[in-house]
Structure 1
Amino acid sequence: MTWFVPALCAAVFLSLAMAAAWMVARREGGSGWTDAIWSFATGAAGVAVVLWPAEGASTGRQWLVAALIGYWGGRLGGHIASRTLLHAGDDPRYAELRREWASDFDRRLFRFLQIQALAGWVLAMSAMVAARNPAPFPSWGDAAGLVLAVLALIGESVADAQLRAFRRDPMNRGGVCDVGLWSVSRHPNYFFEWLFWLALAMFAIGPFGWNWLALAAPAMMYWLLVHVSGIPPLEAHMLRSRGDEYRDVQRRIRPFWPIPGPPSLNGRARPGVRPG
């Protein structure tokens, strides 16, 4: 039962963190901080449970996974926080929820953010499972996980930098970024976010009991990013604000997988198709 105490502590911490995010997001223009708080809190919870003493776990693997998830949380939270500071107002996704939920916004937002706390808890627990792999350290799974995680972190940073550079150019005002990594995926930042959690699952690979549960993180992230809270609401906003220009991007560029060539079905390009 060495997992129970850190799991409970992480759950309580994340629930309280997202309750604090709810208090901030209730105010007009405060929703931009929600994702930053979630990123910092999930990263902190992940580091704490990964480094929690566990019999049979490799200290080297624990420190390596802790360093990766700590950097992930700090980089993503810092990126979102700096973006929020520069651009006042609500995040478009939360602004739409504010309009949709109207007078019931506060209650439904609290429940929504507690679901986000649960998602952060799943990620932290998956990292803990990976870090507690009792296999000798280092292993080929550690090497593969490290390479893939570094690639994911670099890729997401590059995608964010390319989007910032595009938006800073006055010639691109009101346009849709389709350069660099954004020319092969409409959401390369989401792809590399998913890839990072797949990389952490690599550290868990081995014939040791419940290690396969680490795959819950990339599975959940793919579902959330592609089908729930990532691509669908963001693309709905882009269609409202960019119209035909964004429809053209949908015809030319895949939504998630960074594969050159237009989205297609049975070899035929189709407008608006959103295959994973």
Structure 2
Amino acid sequence: MTTAQQLPWIWLLAAVLMVLGWQWQRRRDNAGIVDVLWSAGLAAAALLLALTGTGAPGARLLVGVLATAWALRLALHLWARVRSEPEDCRYRALREHWQGSQLKFFGFFQFQALLVVLFSLPLAAVAGHPAPAPWQLAVAAVIWLVSVGGESLADAQLARFRADPSNRGKTCRSGLWRYSRHPNYFFEWLHWCAYAVAAIGAPLAWLGWLGPVVMYLFLRYISGIPFTEQQALRTRGDDYRDYQRSTPMLFPWFPKS
């Protein structure tokens, strides 16, 4: 199948998932399920692209195995949080702003289905690569290993910190969180660089760069860091302000003394 033929199927699958997710959040007043389904939708998209793509076996295998594994890990991690914690502050704020309008939530969920299609484009570029160089696939695999390992480690360190009752109201400054205020977001962004490398020389190589560029814009300015930092300032106040002054926002570096 060509990319133009694959994308409508990806959109249809994501749209159906988001309808089911919208109904789930109506019953439970928890829109956090949208993040779980966005990740699960990308996992399904990666499998579809790998199975129906026209590229070399190595390129399709990279998408089918690595991209699917990344998306499933993220979906399971988010699901564990959604099912055990109250609704994320971002979605509580939307619920209050929209006065509980389910029509607006439905539109929001369907917008996320379109984002699944958008973030499928870098994967489609790789899955359609007719002859990626061995070094490209190797470098992409190394970037993937570092990014997924780093994000998993950051998530585990934060979960361990939060599990200690004595840390309530405090800011995690240990492990990777000593060098970046959002190491999990950094490694999520880094993950998309793997497909940019793997897509070099492909007919749609420019689509490979959509992943790191668009993900950076979303994390830095739209749905990631701004909301997370606003919530941290509300709950941790001066302790988090001190953390902001000493620790880089996204890209890891040594903290200021």
Same fold by TM-score greater than 0.5: yes
* 8 Å contact from structure 1 (residues 131, 203) kept in 2: no
Q: Are residues 97 and 215 of structure 1, via their aligned partners in 2, closer, same or farther at CA, if it must alter by over 3 Å?
A: same
Q: CA deviation digits over 1:131-182, x for unaligned, max 9? A: 221125x521111111001100000000000001101112212222111111
Question: TM-score of the superposition, structure 1-length normalised?
Answer: 0.88
2:247 to 229, 250, 253: 253
Note the 1:161-200 alignment, pairs <5 A. Answer: 161-200=156-195
- Asked if the contact 2:32–2:87 (Cα under 8 Å) also holds between the matched residues in 1, the reply is yes
Deviation at 1:209, TM superposition (A): 3.0
- What residue identity is the alignment partner of 1:82? A
RMSD: 1.7
- Stretches of structure 1 that go unaligned for 5 or more consecutive residues are 263-268, 270-276
| Equivalent in the alignment of 1:81 | 79
Higher-helix-fraction structure: 2
- 1:150 and 1:61 map into 2 onto residues whose CA distance is 16
SS of residue paired to 1:243: helix
Q: What aligned pairs does 1:7-22 form with structure 2 within 5 A after superposition?
A: 7-22=7-22
Q: Does the 8 Å CA contact 1:43/1:73 hold for their aligned counterparts? A: yes
Q: Indicate the SS of the match to 1:93.
A: helix
Deviation of residue 106 (structure 1)? 1.7
**For residues 167 and 255 of structure 2, what CA distance do their matches in structure 1 show?**
23
* Alpha-carbon distance, 1:129 to partner: 0.8
Bigger mean CA offset, 37-46 vs 187-196: 37-46
Match of 2:32 in 1: 32
Secondary structure of the corresponding residue to residue 106 of structure 2: helix
Q: Tell me, yes or no, if the aligned pair for 1:162 and 1:180 is still in contact at 8 Å.
A: yes
Could you tell me how far apart the structure 1 residues matched to 2:231 and 2:26 are?
A: 21
Cα distance in 1 for partners of 2:152, 2:192 equals 15
Q: Which segment is superposed worse, 246-255 or 27-36?
A: 27-36
Over the matched positions of the two proteins, sequence identity in percent amounts to: 39
- Cα deviation per residue 1:79-123 (whole Å; 9 max; x = unaligned)? 111122332x211110111112214x3222222222222221111
Find the aligned partners of 1:27 and 1:241 in 2 and give their Cα distance.
Answer: 28
Higher RCO, 1 or 2 (CA under 8 Å, sep at least 6)?
2
Instruction: Point out 4+ residue stretches in structure 1 off by more than 4 angstroms.
Output: none
Size of the aligned set, in residue pairs, is 257
Where do 5+ consecutive residues of structure 2 fail to align?
Answer: none
